[in-house]
Amino acid sequence: MTVTFPDDRLAEHPAVGEWLAMSGRALPALETWRSAEPDSPVARMLWVLSRHHHLSDGVLRAELVRAHADAKAAGAVREQSLVHAAWLFTHQAHRRTAEHLVAHFAQYPADVLAATMLGAFDQCGSVDHRKRGEQLIEEQYRLAGPESWAWASCAAAARVEQGRIEDAWYLAEHALRVNPRSGPAAHARAHAEHHQGTGPGCTRFIDTWLDGDPQAIQRPHLQWHAALQDLASGDVEGARRRADAELREGDVGMRAAANWRLLLAGHTPARTTDTADLHRLMAEPGGWAEVFHTFQLALALAVAADTDALTTLARRAGADERSDYRDVLAPVAHALAHLSAGRPGPAVDLLSGLDHQIERIGGVRVEREIIQDTLARALIDAGDPDRAAALLHHRRTTRHHHTYEDQLLTQHPTTGTRAQRPLSRPHLARGERSPEGLADHGKSVSGVRAR
């Protein structure tokens, strides 16, 4: 097989830079490029990638079929491969996407146009796939060299997941020095600082960075990270304020993760998701497309103290043919149901038996950490504070700010997860404070939809 380093002319297109940086200018820039060069397969492919959650199946397929035909007519083999990867990725064929990307990078090393599809490795539901993705990113960064801020940003994120927190922070900083507007680098730094517990330092960084690009695509997610650091430093009102002002109506997963943490620490949650919407999402195929997204639904049901729905979800997961659902999600959901009903003992038994299997539930370290938080609270409520303290010892001794962890270990007058029942708060206007072009298009769990 011939190995070809890609021609950088495509990667140097201004719209590509905006897209790789996840800037607030990315969506209009891609729209303009696609309109100006309708025969460009890359312009059309990136436009689809930027909007695929909001496109109908018919439009998505027609656009990618057109892009592939244009690439084939031009004899552009690399572009054909990219469009094929985009087809697999947008149709949630994550394992096939990962396999194709391995082959693509073998033929076109360090092809930055494929970088935004590397999330497929994380979505495979396999620890082995996730580690292979991290290895692949490191290989591409080495080939691209330190001047590539895009690959440095990707590598920084991978190193956080490998537990190389300081390495990740310095690499994210390097990427930000090369391109101060790299959203993925800012995101990787936020991940690293979560594990460092930098608290106000992290929130100042995020607020300052977003001041330079208020419409950044990752704004809601970066604000979610900032809310977690507000919690870390004990600023509960700050955390609630960010969640209410910054998370869109459709951000079910992030809202649930913030609110469940607030409840575990003994606080009233921020704005919650209506249970009717959660039941609808649980009944739709998209709610069961990926184990991590179903887990996020379970967290939202826990916030609502909907024991019956949690029990139903747990039983369905236990009967699922997919082992990650059956062996990991089912006991987690059963544990959440027990906690919502004020039965911490069974929750402790279920969560204690999972240990390293938790990785199989998907997501990233900061997102999976909430299961450890839940076990710590269950141990406290079950009357076993020594085990709870041992569970959180590493975090409390390595994170500069750990007020949240301290509150997890505090016995509340009544069971922490029931002491502050979710309060329904007025909804923001649809799309309020959301990035241009990404206003809410209906509720979903992290944008999942069935195909």
Kindly report, residue by residue over 336-390, the tens digit of the pLDDT.
999 999 999 999 999 998 988 999 999 999 999 999 999 999 999 999 999 999 9
Whole-prediction pTM: 0.90
The reported pLDDT for the residue numbered 3 is: 53
- Tell me the sheet residues that pair with 444: 251
Section 171-184 average pLDDT: 98
With 90 as the cut, is the pLDDT of residue 438 above it? no
Q: Are 178 and 194 in contact (CB under 8 A)?
A: no
With 70 as the cut, is the pLDDT of residue 413 above it? no
Spatial distance between the Cα atoms of 255 and 245, rounded to a whole number of angstroms: 11
Neighbour count for residue 255 (Cβ, 10 Å): 26
Neighbour count for residue 397 (Cβ, 10 Å): 9
CA distances from 247 to 200, 253, 258, 429 (A): 20, 10, 10, 12
With 90 as the cut, is the pLDDT of residue 194 above it? yes
With 50 as the cut, is the pLDDT of residue 450 above it? no
Phi, psi dihedral angles at 344 (to 5 degrees): -70, -30
Residue 9's Cβ-count burial label (10 Å; 0-12, 13-18, 19+) is: exposed
pLDDT above 90 covers a percentage of the chain that reads: 84
Spatial distance between the Cα atoms of 157 and 366, rounded to a whole number of angstroms: 12
Q: Give pLDDT tens digits for 156-177.
A: 999 999 999 999 999 999 999 9
With 50 as the cut, is the pLDDT of residue 423 above it? no
Phi-psi region of 342 (alpha: psi -120 to 50; beta: other; left: phi over 0): left
Section 81-107 average pLDDT: 97
Q: Which residues of 334-356 are buried (b: 16+ CB within 10 A; e: fewer)?
A: bbbbbbbbebbebbbebbeebee
Spatial distance between the Cα atoms of 137 and 155, rounded to a whole number of angstroms: 6
Whole-number average pLDDT of the chain: 90
The pLDDT confidence band at residue 261, using thresholds 50, 70 and 90, is: very high
Weakest mean pLDDT among 274-278, 321-325, 416-420? 416-420
